Amino acid sequence: MPNFKLTYFDFNGGRGEPIRIAFHAAGVDFEDHRISFEEFMKTRSDLRFTCAPVLAIDGVDVTQSNSMLRYVGKMAGLYPEDDLQALYCDEAMDAVEDLLHQVVHTFGLEGDELKAAREKLADGWITVFVKGLAEILDRAGGEYFADNRLTVADLKVYVQVRSLRAGTLDHVPSDLVDKLAPGLVQHEDRVANHPIVTAYYAARSS
């Protein structure tokens, strides 16, 4: 088994969290290297594509969070083998990435500029992607995004919806998802209480 080191920010969210959960589900040991934003900024120019997370496999760095999540998800049995179901899984993960790309543009803004950008985002792209994710969840039957079971797509959407509903983005209403997509709220609760997810957070708190 290779040696794995996942480098990402020191919080339980974002692009790195679904990968951490998938590693735990796979029963694969990995170094959970958590860094501060200040540490990231000091080394950002040295990183491929200047982004995190970074997964080192036997010392060889790999980037792109969805690629990592698929890779680890396969080890955990959390990625569909059926090609169509894999497509559905990828669609949900890529939609979250597209949303995160829009959100990142508001990082670093302050005051009225941040408020205006976030309010525009809430009325625009966040609304678009929340509604779109709700549609593809309904298409899959309303419980999971693909394969009629928990997959890495569910982990990715769960982490993002949890963040939105926790109010982590200033000037984005924390009840936006509740108003636009009650099915995603139910999905968040379903995933949060899945044995794979509860086991991960139980291990984290021990």
Number of Cβ atoms within 10 Å of the Cβ of 54: 22
CA distances from 26 to 12, 65, 126, 138 (A): 19, 17, 32, 28
Contacts of 84 (CB under 8 A, 6+ apart): none
What was the pLDDT predicted at 190? 98
Residue 170 confidence class, pLDDT cut points 50, 70, 90 = very high
Average the pLDDT over 163-167 and give the result.
Answer: 97
Q: Give the helix ranges, DSSP H, for 48-194.
A: 65-76, 83-104, 111-121, 127-139, 152-165, 176-180, 182-192
What was the pLDDT predicted at 40? 82
The model's pLDDT over 90-129, given as tens digits with 9 standing for 90+, comes to 999 999 999 999 999 999 899 999 999 999 999 999 999 9
- 């959970």: which residue's tokens? 32
Distance CA 103, CA 177 (A): 15
Read off the pTM: 0.95
Residue 206 confidence class, pLDDT cut points 50, 70, 90 = confident
Alpha carbon 97 to its chain's center:
8
**Quick one: which of 27, 28, 24, 30 has its CA closest to 5?**
30
What percent of the chain shows pLDDT beyond 90?
Answer: 89
Give the three-state DSSP class for 107.
Answer: coil
What was the pLDDT predicted at 174? 97
Looking at every residue in the chain, the average pLDDT score rounds to 95
Give the three-state DSSP class for 89.
Answer: helix
Residue 19 confidence class, pLDDT cut points 50, 70, 90 = very high
Average the pLDDT over 35-46 and give the result.
Answer: 84
What was the pLDDT predicted at 178? 98
The model's pLDDT over 55-85, given as tens digits with 9 standing for 90+, comes to 999 999 999 999 999 999 999 999 999 999 9
Distance CA 88, CA 80 (A): 9
Residue 133 tokens, joined: 């994710």
Question: Could you give the domains of the chain?
Answer: 4-77+197-205 (3.40.30.10), 83-194 (1.20.1050.10)
Residue 1 confidence class, pLDDT cut points 50, 70, 90 = confident
